[in-house]
């Protein structure tokens, strides 16, 4: 049963599976405000689908790339008022990914191509990440003069530990799937031809268990760590960075393809 929440996000119920697809392939699925609103609506619907017998949510993307991250054109258009008071913007995005993390359904994220920045933060909010061979992951925000602020620092530390989280965040480098699998950043890697069979195996394993036990087990594991303080710290740390000259120049350089730039530290 298809029922698109937005042209940018497609939702489909197929038996036990509720599927959410990022659908902006012409822009490498870059995430903008409209997409975030549609993702929030999709996971509101996921709760209704859970009540109606859905057992697993699968997040995937149309095209060759999962997502290049946040829409840089939207970034460049941020007005001065927003730069001076970033907390509402950050909190709104954090709330969307919190919906994914708190979803009553177990959520599998299927990654292909690149999964960068905000897109990796989305994947981190999911319960499982499975990837197609040759995908690459990264949090390049520090190369724009900012940091991940939509749960990226908090969830990454919980998942792979502080030393590896610092490696990924402070360098802004991308990593391949061999390293991601070794670190526990992804759960499984499949050749492209075997991907759908791999997804089916995960769905079968999750649906073999009692749905309420899966849902409450997920909640118990998630609640072992209180994210609320970490999310507040992310927003606090990001606020001065959004106002920095380094950030303004880096966004322009990325759009003009004149990167790298000489950082001024201000």
Active-site residues, by number, are 121, 141
List C-alpha distances in Å: 126 to 245, 246, 247: 34, 32, 29
C-beta of residue 147 within 8 angstroms of C-beta of residue 234: yes
DSSP string for 129-186:
EEEETT-EEE-GGGGGT----SSHHHHHHHHH-HHHHHHHHHH--EEEHHHHHHHTSS
How many CA atoms within 13 Å lie on the side-chain side of 138? 16
The partner residues of 68 in beta bridges, in order of sequence, read: none
SS3 of the chain: helix, strand, coil, percent, to 5: 55, 15, 30
- Cα separation, 152 vs 149, in Å, equals 6
Alpha helices in 208-244 (DSSP H): 211-223, 228-242
Handedness of CA 70, 71, 73, 78 (dihedral sign): negative
């Amino acid at each position: 049963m298809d029922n698109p929440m937005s042209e940018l996000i497609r939702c489909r119920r197929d038996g036990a599976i509720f599927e959410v697809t990022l659908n902006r392939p012409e822009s490498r699925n870059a995430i903008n405000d409209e997409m975030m609103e549609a993702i929030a609506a999709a996971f509101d619907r996921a709760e209704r689908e859970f009540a109606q017998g859905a057992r697993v949510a699968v997040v995937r993307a149309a095209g060759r790339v999962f997502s290049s991250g946040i829409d840089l054109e939207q970034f460049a258009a941020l007005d001065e008022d927003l730069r001076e008071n970033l907390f509402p913007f950050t909190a709104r995005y954090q709330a969307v990914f919190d919906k994914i993390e708190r979803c009553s359904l177990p959520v599998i994220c299927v990654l292909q191509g690149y999964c960068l920045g905000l897109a990796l933060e989305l994947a981190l909010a999911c319960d499982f990440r499975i990837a197609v061979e040759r995908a690459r992951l990264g949090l390049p925000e520090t190369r724009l003069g900012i940091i991940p602020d939509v749960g990226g620092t908090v969830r990454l530390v919980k998942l792979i530990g502080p030393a590896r989280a610092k490696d990924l965040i402070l360098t802004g480098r991308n990593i391949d799937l061999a390293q991601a699998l070794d670190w526990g950043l992804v759960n499984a890697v499949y050749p492209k031809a075997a991907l759908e069979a791999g997804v089916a195996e995960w769905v079968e394993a999750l649906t073999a268990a009692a749905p309420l036990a899966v849902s409450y087990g997920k909640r118990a594991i998630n609640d072992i760590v209180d994210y609320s303080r970490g999310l507040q710290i992310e927003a606090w740390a990001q606020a001065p960075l959004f106002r920095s000259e380094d950030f303004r120049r880096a966004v322009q350089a990325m759009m003009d393809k004149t990167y790298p730039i000489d950082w001024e530290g201000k």
